[in-house]
């Protein structure tokens, strides 16, 4: 997966002929899965139409600082917070001077001032303007302030001059931007996640299942992807939207889930079993709808295979993480599962009372390994998933030093 995927970029465009190249930069960022918000200066709009950038980025272009309507949505401070990276391409001599002086005279300069995200400039200007001591002084100030400069390149210019001041080409900028992103802790690691409930049919219309919404498992798959892993998500029946950028396989029963896991788990480094697998299935599945002919009904159930145990019994098992949802003595039961299923780590949540995790966007997790216990506390499932994946990555690398 691209390191740019799901990253939030603000692409700033200032007034210069190289602005036409920014359309291609925006297109390529979006193609790599990045989310792009374009901010244009007034001068930029003389070179390229905002509508082009809106169509390519899928977001209306922002160009005004004192716009009550836009500010009531994502205001200039929120824009600065939203951005993971701000890249200004082309960055004109005027914009560089305003940034070096700390001016907040339009939306782009204000957002650059307000943000704590890295700011990257791709300067573009006439070679004489580039070489002027004033411009060089401003650039030295910006470098000293931690702003990154990409380019410019040397060569023929639109004005007929030859020299330094050409904006880098979009593919060169993309390469630099990719290299500037820290590789996630799970880069080049393959992670398989099971999620959701399973459904064990009794007849064509009835069956046994549980309240699992799949939210925790989907959040874990997404967090692993954001950490750089390539992720396979094997999901029981749920109604939520799967995360983008993960390979999804839908299954219904525990046996199908086991089949999907067994057929490819040998290629994976980490396995995280978040699915609430139904432990028993009806011994017989009636081919047609069962009629209510008797006062009582006895159904025989048989044990479903334990997917986690099957994974840890592989000859070279992946780093394996289980989940435990318990109504009583959760930590004791989880420790037993950690041992019986030969897991590297287990995430425990208590079911019942005010803290029922089923269907909720929040959860409370405790992590238990053979050696330690870590309280992740109560938080959103997205944040808990992020911290769980961070813990898993650290422990995986400690167990498998490079």
**Which residues of this chain interact with ligand C5P, rule CB under 6 A?**
194, 254, 273, 275, 277, 279, 304, 306-308, 322-324, 337
Question: Do β-strands 319-326 and 270-273 pair in parallel, antiparallel, or remain unpaired?
Answer: parallel
Burial zone of 292 (CB within 10 Å; 0-12 exposed, 13-18 middle, 19+ buried): exposed
Nearest CA to 147 out of 155, 156, 138, 157 is that of 138
Q: Which of 30, 112, 159, 176 is catalytic?
A: 159
Phi, psi (5° rounding) for residue 373?
-135, 130
Task: Please list, in sequence order, all residues whose beta carbon lies within 8 angstroms of the beta carbon of residue 139, skipping any fewer than 6 positions away.
Answer: 96, 100, 123, 149
Q: Which is nearer to ligand C5P, 142 or 343 (CB)?
A: 343
Q: Where are the beta strands (DSSP E) in 75-140?
A: 85-91, 119-123
Q: Which is nearer to ligand C5P, 176 or 248 (CB)?
A: 248
Nearest CA to 187 out of 374, 383, 1 is that of 1
Enumerate helices (H) and strands (E) in the chain, giving the number of each. Answer: 14, 19
Asked whether 190 and 181 are in contact (CB, 8 A), the reply is: no
Least distance in Å: CB of 223 to ligand C5P? Answer: 16
Distance CA 79, CA 299 (A): 58
Task: Please list, in sequence order, all residues whose beta carbon lies within 8 angstroms of the beta carbon of residue 207, skipping any fewer than 6 positions away.
Answer: 199, 200, 201, 282
Distances in Å between the alpha carbon of 108 and those of 65, 81, 85, 380? 8, 13, 13, 33
| H or E, element range at 378 | strand 373-380
Nearest CA to 14 out of 81, 155, 111, 83 is that of 111
Q: Which is nearer to ligand C5P, 107 or 325 (CB)?
A: 325
Q: Which is nearer to ligand C5P, 107 or 260 (CB)?
A: 260
Q: Which residue has the tokens 């791709």?
A: 122
Least distance in Å: CB of 226 to ligand C5P? Answer: 21
Distance CA 250, CA 218 (A): 13
Q: Which is nearer to ligand C5P, 22 or 194 (CB)?
A: 194
Distance CA 325, CA 334 (A): 9
Distance CA 368, CA 380 (A): 20
Q: Which is nearer to ligand C5P, 223 or 277 (CB)?
A: 277
Least distance in Å: CB of 272 to ligand C5P? Answer: 8
Least distance in Å: CB of 370 to ligand C5P? Answer: 17
Task: Please list, in sequence order, all residues whose beta carbon lies within 8 angstroms of the beta carbon of residue 70, skipping any fewer than 6 positions away.
Answer: 62, 64
Q: Which is nearer to ligand C5P, 6 or 306 (CB)?
A: 306
Is 159 an annotated catalytic residue? yes
Least distance in Å: CB of 317 to ligand C5P? Answer: 13
Catalytic center residues: 159
């Amino acid at each position: 997966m691209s390191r740019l995927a799901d990253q939030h970029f603000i692409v700033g465009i200032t007034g210069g002929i190289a602005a036409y190249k920014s359309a291609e930069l925006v297109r390529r960022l979006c193609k790599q899965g990045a989310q792009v918000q374009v901010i244009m200066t007034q001068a930029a709009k003389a070179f390229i139409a905002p509508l082009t950038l809106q169509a390519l980025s899928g977001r209306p272009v922002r160009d005004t600082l004192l716009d009550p309507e836009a500010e009531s949505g994502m205001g200039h401070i929120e824009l600065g917070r939203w951005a993971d990276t701000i890249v200004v391409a082309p960055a004109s001599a005027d914009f560089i001077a305003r940034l070096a002086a700390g001016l907040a005279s339009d939306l782009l300069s204000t957002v650059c001032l307000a943000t704590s995200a890295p700011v990257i400039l791709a300067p573009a200007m006439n070679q004489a303007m580039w070489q002027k001591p004033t411009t060089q002084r401003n650039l030295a100030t910006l470098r000293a302030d931690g702003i990154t400069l990409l380019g410019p390149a040397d060569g023929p210019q639109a004005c007929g001059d030859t020299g330094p001041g050409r904006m880098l080409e979009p593919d060169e900028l993309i390469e630099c931007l990719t290299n500037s992103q820290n590789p996630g802790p799970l880069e080049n690691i393959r992670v398989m996640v099971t999620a959701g409930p399973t459904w064990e049919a009794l007849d064509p219309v009835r069956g046994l299942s549980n309240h699992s919404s799949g939210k925790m498992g989907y959040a874990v798959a997404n967090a692993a992807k954001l950490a750089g892993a390539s992720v396979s998500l094997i999901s029981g029946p749920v109604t939520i939207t799967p995360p983008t950028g993960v390979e999804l396989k839908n299954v219904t029963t525990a046996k199908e889930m086991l089949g999907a896991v067994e057929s490819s788990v040998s290629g994976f480094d980490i396995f995280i079993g978040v699915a609430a697998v139904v432990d028993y299935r009806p011994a017989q599945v009636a081919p047609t709808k069962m009629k209510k002919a008797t006062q009582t009904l006895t159904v025989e159930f048989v044990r479903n295979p334990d997917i986690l145990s099957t994974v840890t019994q592989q000859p070279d098992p992946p780093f394996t993480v289980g989940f435990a949802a318990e109504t009583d003595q959760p930590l004791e039961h989880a420790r037993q599962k950690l041992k019986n299923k030969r897991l590297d780590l287990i995430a425990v949540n208590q079911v019942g009372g005010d803290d029922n995790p089923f269907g909720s966007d929040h959860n409370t997790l405790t992590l238990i390994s053979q050696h330690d216990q870590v309280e992740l506390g109560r938080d959103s499932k997205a944040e808990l998933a992020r911290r769980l994946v961070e813990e898993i990555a650290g422990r995986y690398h400690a167990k498998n030093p490079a």
